Chain A
Amino acid sequence: MRSGAEHRLRALRERLAAIEGGKRTGRVLPFGDGRVDACLPGGGLPRGRWHEITGEGLEQETAAAPAAWSARLGSRLLSDGGGEAVWIGQSEDLHAPGLAALGLRPIFVLVRNDTEALAAAEDALRARGVAAVWAEVAGLDLTAGRRLQLACEAHGATGFVLRRRLWAHKGGAETGAGSASRWRIAAAPSNPGHLPGLGPARWRVWLERAAGGRPGAWIMEMGDEADRIRVVSELAADGLAAAEPSIRRAG
């Protein structure tokens, strides 16, 4: 009796997830840290979906931290699955050497407006051999979001939509809808330990919404070639990092 109810409950959950998530590829990009992966359906960033990434404060215009974080995260899609990256921007300020240092050597596409950016993103996502697509747009509506999702499903490519408001854009942009997750990224002070200079780059990362998951906030750090991004600690609701265990070294 009880097991039957559980069974039905599980079936219902699966159906719900299917409705929520559309056609699932099932593949995910795990962060490798239970604190983050537990918040995401399937234990990682869903692949074959698109994700919305915004900045904070001035970053909404410059979009450097969201770009860097997503580039570092997405670079794993290229080494894991193999394939090309395409980066669609509306200004020419993306610096290829900086991007290469994060592990990304994309095909650059320069567009004039959001419409062109979204159309180019759809084409790129649909092309075989493309593993990940970044598109910098001011905003997109529900229809555009659905179209992106359909394009992602063609070959399981993953989309990163960077919400960026350039000075040229006027008025309020619609909030992205239909994304598998929405993230807000801001810089965080680095911790070089006792060494002078800068430590590895850090970000405050808010997972604001995840279809089939739950929100969360963390401090993440630029990792090495193997792990790419490390989760340092959880972020309290007030935006302060939870106490970080101090680094101790023997000897």
Chain B
Amino acid sequence: MAAVNEAGEAAGLWRGKKLADSLALVPELRTADHEPEADASALLGLADGCVRFSPAVAPDGPDGLFLDVTGGAAPWGGEAAWLHDLLTRLSRAGAPARAAVADTAGAAWALARFGQADRIRIRPGAQADALRPLPVAALRLPPAAQAGLPRLGLTTVGQVSTLPRAQLAKRFGASTLLRLDQALGTADEALPFRRPPTPWFERLAFFDPLSAPEDLRRAVGDLLHALCERLAAEGQGARRFETVFHRADGCSFPVRIGTGLPARDPDRLLKLFAPKLEFVDPGFGIDAVTLTADRLEPLGERQTRLDQETDVQDALAALVDQLGARLGESRVWRAAPQESHVPERAVTRRPASAPLSGFGLPSGPGWDPERPRPMRLLPRPEPVEAMAAVPDNPPLVFTWRGRRRRVRRAEGPERIAEEWWLDAAAVPAVNRVRDYYAVEDGEGERFWLFRDGLYRAGETPRWFLHGLFG
């Protein structure tokens, strides 16, 4: 048995007891299969829900959470009230829990699991005294040490902490010493926070849960104003913002936006959030909203004189962010040349917020203007029926999409070798060559045709249409 509820414990069952024994003891026992993955993902969900209490939440083992509350309990009116709110909400969400607040993660862990009460808060610096009576298991020791210490008659943390350090390390390994130091606060501990602890965190809680979309919008706006004011004070801007809506029933909805350049203009950021707020389901009401900023970069104070160039760049960056937020960031780009002979690969996409060197003008690295390139390139070349007088010449007549066209003028060929070496499956062969022609029909329409492979006697060359010049 992996877990037992309160009623089960009252009936004399415990975790780890065999199911057959348990059923013998309590015939009316109801069981469900243990699903460790589902448990783990539920714990992560709970961790995300706890973001309202602290931006830094780390899952611990299969059944624990670490929250970094450093300086964050002020809005509740102190750590005691914070702890009360946390446990009340968890139990209301169907997850009754024990919790402890201490200077170190190790001490809090020990007190939450082995302390005398469900909820413990110890004074700063008091962890040594508080831990003394706890069993050694409270130290999160490696299994060998945890089993070995009681055999030496050392059953409490207090006993272990008085031992000579060198001998302890020699007998039970350096990690034992480290765990002890982490619990007492003489060694640091890095926790795997879901979101790294950040000072760029703002939170709003409401007595009356919100549900109207305009209220959500206003809440996000207020948070943005508060956070951006602090960012401005430190000359910083951020490129990622996340707001989390916490529902009264414990569900939480994160909404994220990103900007191409560091930003701290609350109005502009609110515009990026706005279209996404529509998808937040407020349910019976949202009672807390949090906001965190990430990917901070220095952002200079806006110059007081009207700097046209900077202004325009800002406006463009705002446009790109806005379109990216609505359509998806991959749907807004600038085209840049890429070293490749194959037309399909001659273009690479760059984030549109990075300006061209020439600012809007066709300068900077470009494509060879001497090589004609079509206005529209078909996603894949379409085969055409073509008739050429001499196999090595452009066709005289070709049929594309059911229409026969007589070639009046032509230019070419431009020989392009396929980059077969990039494609592991391809076999290097003479056929990996395309001869491109730009041709014009009687109407003046222009097409980009190619013959696949070199001409060889006895073979009908295959022709493809790859693009349209306008």
Does A associate with B in a complex?
Answer: yes
B361-A69 in contact (CB<8A): no
Distance (whole angstroms) from the CB of B244 to the closest CB of chain A: 27
B332-A95 in contact (CB<8A): no
**Which chain A residues border B36 with CB–CB below 8 Å?**
none
Give the docked Cα–Cα distance between A93 and B375 (Å).
8
A189-B442 in contact (CB<8A): yes
**Which chain A residues border B334 with CB–CB below 8 Å?**
105-108
A66 at the interface (CB under 8 A from B): yes
B347-A96 in contact (CB<8A): yes
A215 at the interface (CB under 8 A from B): no
**Which chain B residues border A86 with CB–CB below 8 Å?**
319
* Contact pick for B444, options A62, A96, A116, A189, CB 8 Å: A189
B319-A64 in contact (CB<8A): no
A131 at the interface (CB under 8 A from B): yes
CB-defined A-B contacts under 8 Å, sample of 23: A58-B401, A59-B445, A84-B360, A93-B377, A95-B347, A95-B467, A98-B374, A98-B377, A104-B362, A105-B360, A105-B362, A105-B364, A107-B320, A110-B331, A116-B326, A116-B327, A120-B326, A123-B323, A186-B444, A187-B470, A190-B440, A198-B410, A201-B446
Q: Which of A8-16, A44-52, A75-83 lies at the interface?
A: A75-83
Chain B residues 356 to 389 lying within 8 A of chain A, measured CB to CB, are 356, 359-362, 364, 366-367, 369, 372-379
Give the docked Cα–Cα distance between A203 and B445 (Å).
9
* Contact pick for B469, options A92, A103, A201, A204, CB 8 Å: A201
**Which chain A residues border B374 with CB–CB below 8 Å?**
64, 95, 98
**Which chain B residues border A187 with CB–CB below 8 Å?**
443-446, 470
A93-B378 in contact (CB<8A): yes
Distance (whole angstroms) from the CB of B272 to the closest CB of chain A: 12
**Closest B residue, CB atoms, query A108:** B333
Give the docked Cα–Cα distance between A148 and B290 (Å).
37
B446-A198 in contact (CB<8A): yes
Interface residues of A (CB under 8 A from B): 58-59, 62-69, 71, 75, 78-79, 82-86, 92-112, 116, 119-120, 123-124, 127-131, 186-190, 192, 197-199, 201-204
Give the docked Cα–Cα distance between A65 and B446 (Å).
9
* Contact pick for B311, options A59, A128, A199, CB 8 Å: A128
B438 at the interface (CB under 8 A from A): yes
B396 at the interface (CB under 8 A from A): no
**Which chain B residues border A204 with CB–CB below 8 Å?**
444
Give the docked Cα–Cα distance between A66 and B375 (Å).
10
A65-B470 in contact (CB<8A): yes
Give the docked Cα–Cα distance between A119 and B319 (Å).
12
B29 at the interface (CB under 8 A from A): no
B316-A84 in contact (CB<8A): yes
Interface flags, B270-312, vs A, CB<8A=1, else 0: 0000000000000000000000000000000000000000011
A197-B312 in contact (CB<8A): no
* A-B CB proximity, top 10 nearest: A68-B470, A96-B335, A129-B312, A128-B315, A187-B444, A127-B319, A97-B367, A64-B468, A97-B373, A95-B377
Give the docked Cα–Cα distance between A85 and B318 (Å).
15
B347-A189 in contact (CB<8A): no
Residues of chain B at interface, number, CB under 8 A:
57
B323-A120 in contact (CB<8A): yes
Give the docked Cα–Cα distance between A108 and B369 (Å).
20
**Which chain B residues border A101 with CB–CB below 8 Å?**
367, 369, 372-373
**Which chain A residues border B443 with CB–CB below 8 Å?**
186-189
A97-B347 in contact (CB<8A): yes
**Which chain B residues border A129 with CB–CB below 8 Å?**
311-313, 315-316, 319, 360
Given A84-B316, A109-B323, A197-B410: A97 and B356 within 8 A (CB)? no
B318-A107 in contact (CB<8A): no
**Which chain A residues border B440 with CB–CB below 8 Å?**
189-190, 198
B30 at the interface (CB under 8 A from A): no
**Which chain A residues border B312 with CB–CB below 8 Å?**
83, 128-129
**Which chain A residues border B322 with CB–CB below 8 Å?**
123
A190-B444 in contact (CB<8A): yes
Chain B residues 318 to 359 lying within 8 A of chain A, measured CB to CB, are 318-320, 322-323, 326-327, 331-335, 337, 343, 346-347, 349, 352, 356, 359
**Closest B residue, CB atoms, query A81:** B360
**Which chain B residues border A96 with CB–CB below 8 Å?**
335, 347, 367
**Which chain A residues border B442 with CB–CB below 8 Å?**
189
B403 at the interface (CB under 8 A from A): yes
Give the docked Cα–Cα distance between A181 and B193 (Å).
59
B18 at the interface (CB under 8 A from A): no
